[in-house]
Structure 1
Amino acid sequence: MSQENQNTKDLKRSSCGRYEGNALVILGAGESGVGTAILGLKQGFDVFVSDKGAIKEKYKTVLNELQVDWEENQHSEERILKADVVMKSPGIPDTVAIVKKLEAKHIPVISEIEFAAVFTSAKIIGITGSNGKTTTTKFIYHILKHAGIKAGMAGNVGDSFAKMVAETAPDWFVLELSSFQLDGIRDFKPEIAVLTNITPDHLDRYEHKLENYIASKFRIAENQSAEDYFIYDFDDELIKSWLEDHPIKSEKMPFSLQQKMENGAYIENENIIVNIKNDQFNMPTSSLDLQGKHNTKNAMAAATVSKLLRIRKNTIRESMESFQGVEHRLENVLKINNVQYINDSKATNVNATFYALESMTTETVWIVGGTDKGNIYDDLLPLINEKVKAIICLGVDNEKLFRNFGNCVDTILETQSMREAVSMAYAIAEKGNSVLLSPACASFDLFENYEDRGRQFKEAVRNL
């Protein structure tokens, strides 16, 4: 065996745990699954892709071009159980029958993130959190690109990490990481980890136990060493409490709106201050294009990463001033008759909607609803009383919303049509008001995903 082939074999073994052979089975033929097929094929694996549901035509085309064996609407257990390693797409729970059978046979079941990381020499910045991770990921990537650093962005945003590893060779990867992706890691570790915040979310995947969800988020730091960095929200009580009971090895870099940080980021006289080993960076919060306390925190995390990478202060400042956020997250769509329409479709949980309502400076017509994930709405009530003039419930089942908010406003309506929801808002809103789509719920009752929901909102507003 050549030295090159031996190195490849060692890479495979180190990425997937103890196994011999090169039979790679991929469960799920979405973005991460097809990306893993591309990388697996490049690395010499014998690849088989299996999806319990229907595979989208665009992914079938790619798999056929790769000449990879695939199946849809079934799992051929006999073939799957002969795998040396299995990459499970993040949307597939650990509790499904085929995964349990794989585990019983001690066949490694890992995530795309785990599989791909071993095949790149790039350093990694990993970002996770219940809210703000997409904005923070894009914020950091924007700064790195502006600084001339050869960087790639992947994970839970954009192309799959595996596909990017197969096709590009940056110096740094900026990865948005969901808890589902982190659940499938073994050896993966980022040089810089960012945890934006933790609020209850996806508890149906975690036995309805908050501690299981928190542990999943903290997996981003579990393999870090003393040479690595962990950036986190010091104001988040769940994070602070967990760190007290579960020490980590990496160097902690907290950020806070409330307290001065000796090593980290804080606010002083309406300026963001980042202090790392007595090297200080500062800029006014008013210079940020993104407003709201949550976006200030996202900016603090991004600035801390930038300082750790020793990017010039002027470059950081210019980049932060020019960053305009992400689609479907507090996105100003149009102003019609002096009423601002705002698309916050990415707010799929209560905490995200809390931030959205908190940032409102005018009376607001609020469009809410969708697939409830066990939401508790109590924290929203003071903001609704202060800022919301009318509520439009957009969902298949709106009974819980009426029960929680019926006494908060004079006008509460319901619909199952985005076009009708926007028309209702147009009829209610007065000069100087805002219309905010911030659903606090998943989108799957009426829409394909939150992007589809946001696009339909924008289209309906433009057609007013």
Structure 2
Amino acid sequence: MTGEQDVGEGSGGNGSLLIYGLGRSGRGVARFLSSEGTRAQWHDARPSAEDLALMDKLHYGRGDVGGTYATVVAAPGVPIDHPDLESLRGRGAEIIGEVMLAARLRLALPIVGVTGTAGKGGTTVLIASLLRACGVRAREGGNIDPPLLDVVDTAAVAVAELSSFQLERVPGLRLPVAVITNLGVDHLDRHRTVAAYHAAKLNITAGQQEGDVLIVPEGLEISTRAEILAFSPARLVLNSGEEVLTAAELPDAIHPANAAAALLAAEAMLIRLGRPVQTEVLAAALRAAQPQRGRFETVAQVSGVRFIDDSIATRTIAVQAALERARPPIAWLVGGRDKGAELGPLREAARGRVKTVIAFGEDGEKLARELGLPFVTVSGADGDETMRAAARAGLKALGTEGTVLLAPIGTSFDQFRDYAQRGDSFRRAALALAQPAREEDA
């Protein structure tokens, strides 16, 4: 059976399906559909040279957004209420995303879905690593690299990080195991209200049925047909109640809440696959777990000062977690472009732990003043120079002990391509400071 038959055939000119929005997600969709032998057209208002080269290679032509299609696969970066999508929907198109496409074209593939305001990436990676430790060929993808469609043909189980944008376009998605790490506040520029943002997140369980499992933090009440399993960062246990290990045994960079949720998800999937749940194997895998690059990762140390990169921490709940986990005293690097994060909980988390704020970038000083904490401002001709100045200022403020923490609140787009590039710049700056110390020790 071809993908063309499975996802619907429209009458939009020379293609049976429209890929709306290219970039990382859209290119993954195009490569996958081509490998399936499925005809498609594409539309992107600003295609890159890489996009155009791939479309030419695949012999996919530009589509007419005024045409009629049964199915439109829309990239998550495109608002679900974009006028073009509304118009296409009005002419009968079903709007889906790459996650729904993967679920429809690989019906036999079990998918574990993970969402939440913070921690979803780390939890996704942990679940996949726990399953691999138990002998399951699990691969992670989705909102984290690689795209989900790039892993579905090499995985026995796919573990997908799902953003609220992706979950807006998953009509009827049924996941045997789903995880909600937490529900906070984010992306109000897209969703407009907290209620709409939470509603998008809760689509992860909308298609679940009896026999499926939904894993949520203790105290979060959810309406679902699935069996609910609640986790707590205080108890790293299986659903049977058996303790796997204590939070103190986890590596510093692994958040106990992520580990607790991942354990329940891995256990649920192992049971579904008919595989044994080996407590000692799961414990060993957690003890050896590695953080994702750029997510509360120790990148260097100078004497007793640890440099931690949490460049992705721009949501209040993620920044708060970083402040609570970092070893005080803390020199807190704050800056980038303000995205309107709630600062009240951060003032509380910083009390008695943050020695000084190092303000950088477009809105760093503005954010520091609103936090009401002691701060110094640094700047540079470009992002790299700014990060070098921030790292030096943090080390100077602390002396010989504590943590220089990049948990910036602001987005990276003022001086960097993305959070990963900002984190890499901080890493290089920290390593440069550590190098003289290593040479003196030699």
Q: Deviations over 1:85-133 (max 9, x none)?
A: 2111101112333222212222122111111211112111000001001
- Contact 1:275–1:281 (CA<8 Å) still a contact in 2? no
Partner of 1:332: 298
Matched, 1:412 2:376: yes
Q: What is the 5 A alignment of 1:21-170?
A: 23-55=16-48, 57=50, 59-70=51-62, 78=64, 81-120=67-106, 121-165=108-152, 168-170=153-155
* Deviation at residue 291 of structure 1 after TM alignment: 5.4
Matched, 1:255 2:219: no
Aligned letter for 1:12?
Answer: V
Partner of 1:321: 287
SS at match of 1:392: strand
Q: Check 1:85–1:462 CA distance in 2 against 1; reply closer, same or farther (3 A cut).
A: same
Partner of 1:298: 258
* Deviation at residue 37 of structure 1 after TM alignment: 0.8
Matched, 1:436 2:396: no
Partner of 1:176: 161
Q: Which runs of 4+ in 1 moved over 4 A?
A: 16-19
Unaligned stretches of 5+ residues in structure 2: 272-276, 381-385, 434-442
Matched, 1:286 2:278: no
Aligned letter for 1:234?
Answer: E
Partner of 1:194: 179
Partner of 1:225: 209
Q: Deviations over 1:301-323 (max 9, x none)?
A: 11112222143111111111110
Aligned letter for 2:395?
Answer: Y
SS at match of 1:342: strand
* Deviation at residue 412 of structure 1 after TM alignment: 2.9
Aligned letter for 1:34?
Answer: R
* Deviation at residue 427 of structure 1 after TM alignment: 2.8
State which drifts further: 425-434 or 361-370.
425-434
Question: Percent identity of the aligned residues?
Answer: 29
SS at match of 2:392: helix
Separation (CA, whole Å) in 2 of partners of 1:125 and 1:312: 19
SS at match of 1:415: coil
The one of 329, 346, 366 equivalent to 2:332 is 366
- Contact 2:129–2:138 (CA<8 Å) still a contact in 1? no
Separation (CA, whole Å) in 1 of partners of 2:109 and 2:149: 13
Q: Deviations over 1:309-356 (max 9, x none)?
A: 143111111111110211111110111133211111010211111001
Separation (CA, whole Å) in 2 of partners of 1:134 and 1:177: 9
- Contact 1:17–1:108 (CA<8 Å) still a contact in 2? no
Q: Deviations over 1:280-306 (max 9, x none)?
A: 3431222211357xx111111111122
Matched, 1:206 2:191: yes
Q: Deviations over 1:194-233 (max 9, x none)?
A: 00001100011112x1111111111000000011000001
Partner of 2:383: none
- Contact 1:201–1:373 (CA<8 Å) still a contact in 2? no
Q: Deviations over 1:137-183 (max 9, x none)?
A: 00011111111112221101122112333xx2422111110010010
Aligned letter for 1:50?
Answer: H
TM-score, length of structure 2 as denominator length:
0.89
Aligned letter for 1:98?
Answer: D
Aligned letter for 1:431?
Answer: T
Matched, 1:423 2:415: no
- Contact 1:125–1:172 (CA<8 Å) still a contact in 2? yes
Q: Deviations over 1:404-441 (max 9, x none)?
A: 134x22x4324352222223223322101211100122
Q: Check 1:98–1:297 CA distance in 2 against 1; reply closer, same or farther (3 A cut).
A: same
Q: Check 1:463–1:222 CA distance in 2 against 1; reply closer, same or farther (3 A cut).
A: same
SS at match of 1:200: coil
* Deviation at residue 399 of structure 1 after TM alignment: 5.0
SS at match of 1:253: strand
- Contact 1:134–1:176 (CA<8 Å) still a contact in 2? yes
* Deviation at residue 46 of structure 1 after TM alignment: 1.7
SS at match of 2:130: helix
